[in-house]
Amino acid sequence: MRWLWCLFSLAGLAVAGPVRELGLFTRYNESAEWFDAVVQPPGVTNGVGAFLKTTVDAAAARAAAEGKSPQSIASMRGRWLEWAVVVALKECRRLPAYWQAEFVAVPRNYNDVVLWSKEHGPVVLSCKTSLRERYKQADLEAVALRQHYPGARFFIVTIDADKRHVANVRRKIADKELLALQGIYDETNADELFMLLKTWTLMEAPPGVLRSGKVIR
């Protein structure tokens, strides 16, 4: 019977998805199960932006098939986008990265995805499936952190279907109407963000900088 137990254990490891494998959860719930069931990490090679949108849309379709309401699905899409970004970073070897990172200098502010570069210090990726007014909150949070890290880089990653809204936020960034955000990337140009990350030397954050967060190596 021992061989049968080992067989089941190996099978469980074979089907484990990235959320479970990387520990991107406080409680592994149905939202995480649906994401792990549909995500296809090798799909990043077809384009980061397409991977992000396809993955989130597939998880939403799975949740809808399970009877979840549009409102409930909308509330889960943001977390799915965070996970998809982390998976893309791992597949593209843009590591280490931190998920839900809290800085000692700005406590109780949890950043979706953070990297640390030799050139600029913190590189913060704020994941927004829908922009609406949320980009303003992302800018305010960036302003607070930039006071402690003047060279930091702050970007929004979104799959908002309203491209007029995306273009409007991009214009506000270019015109310096927003105080700290330096770029916005959606499914049409997310590869440019990943190419930019490739030009920087990514490393682990110095000791004492982060108060909490899950590190992905």
Around Cβ 132, how many Cβ atoms within 10 Å? Answer: 11
For the residues 1-12, what does the mean pLDDT come to?
35
Name the DSSP letter for residue 157: E
> Using CA atoms, how far apart are residues 152 and 4, in angstroms rounded to an integer?
52
Note the Cα 3 to chain centre separation in Å. 39
pLDDT recorded at residue 1: 40
pLDDT recorded at residue 133: 83
For the residues 104-129, what does the mean pLDDT come to?
98
Break the chain into its structural domains and give their ranges: 13-91, 97-216
Predicted structure pTM score: 0.92
pLDDT recorded at residue 15: 54
**187 and 52 in contact (C-beta within 8 Å)?**
yes
Q: Phi, psi at residue 203, to the nearest 5°? A: -150, 170
Write out the two tokens for 216: 């992905």
Band (pLDDT 50/70/90 cuts) for residue 16 is: confident
Q: In this predicted model, which residue has the larger pLDDT, 16 or 172?
A: 172
* pLDDT beyond 90 at 3: no
For the residues 192-208, what does the mean pLDDT come to?
98
For the residues 115-119, what does the mean pLDDT come to?
98
Paired strand residues for 158: 128
pLDDT recorded at residue 212: 97
**100 and 125 in contact (C-beta within 8 Å)?**
no
* pLDDT beyond 70 at 13: no
Question: Which tens digits make up the pLDDT trace of 38-55?
Answer: 999 999 999 999 999 999
For the residues 114-129, what does the mean pLDDT come to?
98
* pLDDT beyond 70 at 164: yes
* pLDDT beyond 70 at 107: yes
pLDDT recorded at residue 128: 96
* pLDDT beyond 50 at 71: yes
CA separation, residue 180 to residues 5, 11, 91, 93 (Å): 54, 47, 28, 27
Name the DSSP letter for residue 191: H
Burial 20-49 (b: 16+ CB within 10 A, else e): bebebbeeeeebbbbbbebbeeebbeebbb
